[in-house]
């Protein structure tokens, strides 16, 4: 653990040299101080957020010796780190908050809307603020049937051009995982599973049935990979997939049956685009009687 912290400290010293002082950015004093002193800060998105879950995730990050930086857009300002007041404001808006990816940032800022950041926009804003590590649940990817719909998440393109290390539980199970891995390879994104084998996880379960391109056994090795990526100035992101523990994983067959049913319902009801993912996740939770939701909180 000590070695990992030393490598991560070196990473933060070498990654980004300046703090964004744009008038559009509001960065909490704690995070400002940590960035200026090259301390460990971890970015968090705000697409799916409640006061309770945000505080729980932030507490876990603090227990590991880092400072959480939940990112959102409020009243035309980018907030790097949310106070209790701003969390409450975001919570009151709830689902009405604009889901904000790269294409939406200028609109949400200029029109002073409330924006909940996706993986893609969180990467952009974290990078701009000088934060090189971002933690999320599962990244977006290639949707099933994308050969007809061309529905591919902007997360994948962003990972190809923004040098942020994204720590996650793999690709969302509702997506086409092998095609997603192919697109990540095309984008030049290093994909690594953190664990004892090279199985790529599937968010709710530790094994998607597909191999991970790379794997490491320790956080120290993961830190070394991130540092090497920045030293080479590759300007591309990295994905570190951390499998859900076996004892907390959902039943694979139950999840797959629920996914198949939910996707069929989405197709019959013409649910597509940005509405598809929340629809599928909600239906999967209903069909599994909450088992998928329980697993997603681990």
Of 45, 58, 158, 291, the catalytic one is 45
The answer to whether residue 264 is domain-embedded is no
| Structural domain that includes position 75 | 2-251
Res 141: pLDDT: 93
45 catalytic residue (yes or no):
yes
The answer to whether residue 240 is domain-embedded is yes
Res 193: pLDDT: 95
The answer to whether residue 183 is domain-embedded is yes
The answer to whether residue 113 is domain-embedded is yes
Res 256: pLDDT: 83
The answer to whether residue 242 is domain-embedded is yes
The answer to whether residue 20 is domain-embedded is yes
172 catalytic residue (yes or no):
yes
Write out pLDDT tens, residues 8-48. 555 555 555 456 667 789 999 999 999 988 889 999 999 86
Per-residue pLDDT of the chain (298 residues; tens, 9 = 90+): 445 455 555 555 555 545 666 778 999 999 999 998 888 999 999 986 665 677 888 999 999 899 999 999 998 899 999 988 888 888 888 778 899 999 999 999 999 999 999 999 999 999 999 999 999 988 999 988 888 888 899 999 999 999 999 999 988 888 999 999 999 999 999 999 998 688 999 888 888 889 999 999 988 999 999 999 999 999 999 999 999 887 777 777 888 888 889 889 988 888 877 788 888 888 888 888 877 666 665 5
Instruction: Please tell me the total count of domains within the chain.
Output: 1
Residue 109 burial (CB count, 10 A): 17
The answer to whether residue 274 is domain-embedded is no
CATH code for the domain in which residue 17 is found: 3.40.1790.10
The answer to whether residue 181 is domain-embedded is yes
Of 58, 99, 158, 172, the catalytic one is 172
**CA-based nearest residue to 78, from 19, 8, 10:** 19
**Cβ-defined contacts of 175-179 (< 8 Å, 24+):** 175/140, 175/141, 175/142, 175/143, 175/144, 176/141, 176/142, 176/143, 176/144, 176/146, 177/141, 177/202, 177/208, 177/209, 177/210, 178/210, 179/141, 179/142, 179/146
């Amino acid at each position: 653990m000590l070695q990992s912290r030393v490598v991560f400290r070196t990473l933060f010293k070498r990654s980004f040299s300046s703090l964004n002082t744009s008038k559009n950015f509001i960065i909490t004093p704690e995070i400002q101080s940590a960035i200026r002193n090259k301390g460990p800060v971890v970015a968090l998105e705000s697409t799916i957020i409640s006061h309770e879950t945000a505080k729980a995730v932030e507490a876990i990050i603090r227990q590991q010796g880092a400072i959480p930086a939940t990112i959102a857009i409020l009243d035309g300002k980018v907030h790097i780190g949310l106070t209790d007041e701003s969390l409450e404001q975001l919570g009151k808006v709830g689902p009405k908050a604009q889901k904000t990816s790269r294409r939406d940032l200028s609109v949400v800022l200029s029109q002073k809307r409330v924006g909940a950041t996706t993986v893609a926009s969180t990467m952009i804003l974290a990078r701009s603020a000088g934060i090189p590590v971002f933690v999320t649940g599962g990244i977006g990817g290639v949707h099933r049937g994308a050969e007809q719909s061309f529905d591919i998440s902007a997360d994948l393109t962003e990972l190809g051009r923004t040098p942020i290390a994204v720590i996650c539980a793999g690709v969302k199970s509702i997506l086409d995982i092998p095609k997603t891995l192919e697109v990540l390879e095309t984008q030049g994104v290093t994909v690594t599973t953190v664990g004892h084998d090279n199985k790529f996880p599937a968010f709710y379960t530790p094994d998607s049935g597909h191999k991970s391109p790379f794997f490491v056994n320790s956080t120290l090795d993961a830190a070394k990979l991130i540092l090497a990526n920045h030293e080479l100035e590759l300007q591309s992101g990295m994905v570190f997939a951390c499998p859900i523990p076996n004892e907390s994983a959902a039943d694979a067959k139950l999840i797959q049956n629920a996914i198949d049913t939910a996707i069929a319902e989405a197709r019959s009801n013409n649910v597509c685009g940005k509405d598809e993912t929340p629809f599928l996740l909600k239906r999967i939770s209903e069909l599994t009687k909450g088992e998928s939701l329980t697993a997603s909180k681990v």
